[in-house]
Structure 1
Amino acid sequence: MSETIKEFYDRERALSVVVRHKQQWSQPKKVSQLHSLMRWENEINTVLRQNGQQILYIYNDVDYTRRRRDFKYITANKWSAEAKACMTSMNCIRERRTCETKKYGSGGKCCSVDGRRYIVAIVRTETRGWGIFALEDIPPNVFVTEYIG
């Protein structure tokens, strides 16, 4: 299936949620929130596409929370001064290992640098705030995503 057709069907499924919760979308506050989350999703997906990675979705039907203004999606770690010193003076981070089951190592050959391979959504939950949820079955003992900060 071509990427365009797949994206069309993905959007169609996402919009079906809007139709099911029609009464909420007549509220200006909810519509404003939807636009905010769509802009946030588009900004993140632009970065992901530029890096050849799988896009993601953002969803909140719990409350009126929007994106955090101070949140910036990045695809590479921001190293502290201590970590930078470690990388240049020792081999603690520059060591290269290949992935093994339940052991992911570090360096350019690590599977985590290839990016996420599964479709996920950032979803607002009632009791835990924002979280990541898989939108497809993921086999056991495989790399899902890298936490970058």
Structure 2
Amino acid sequence: MTLWYWEHVGGALIEEFPAVRRGPGVGVRYLDAVIIPDRPRERLRAGTWFDLSGANVVVVQTKNSRLGMYLMGQTLFSKRLIETLWTPRDVVSVALCSATDAVLEPLLREHPGCQVVVAPREVSGAAGRGVREVATGGESAA
């Protein structure tokens, strides 16, 4: 699903991005993917560290299931981690899932820079109950 989304966004893709390194009293934190859309199209080695200062950044948290509070938390706090640890130009954080939730999606969208993208059935393999496909640009289509 992450690769499908990257195909639409372009740029440089880093899967399993190490946002926080392990240290005394600090656990390592990996983000499912970071995309730097202004860089040339390239799939970097998973786990590659990259200085995100000054960059436009798209954080992708992926779960092949209905949007839930766990994925929402990952999406919201991944954005905050990137904003806190670097000085990016802009950060968009995407909850990439196989189905939306009519109650939860509006709550996440209240947070600027947080989006819900629902992968089409042929990508996610979802049965289609409540699944909405996305239009190009990351907006959910009705």
**TM-score interval (norm. to shorter):** under 0.3
Point out the structure with the larger helix share.
1
Provide the TM-score with structure 1 as the length reference. 0.25
Point out the structure with the larger strand share.
2
Provide the TM-score with structure 2 as the length reference. 0.25
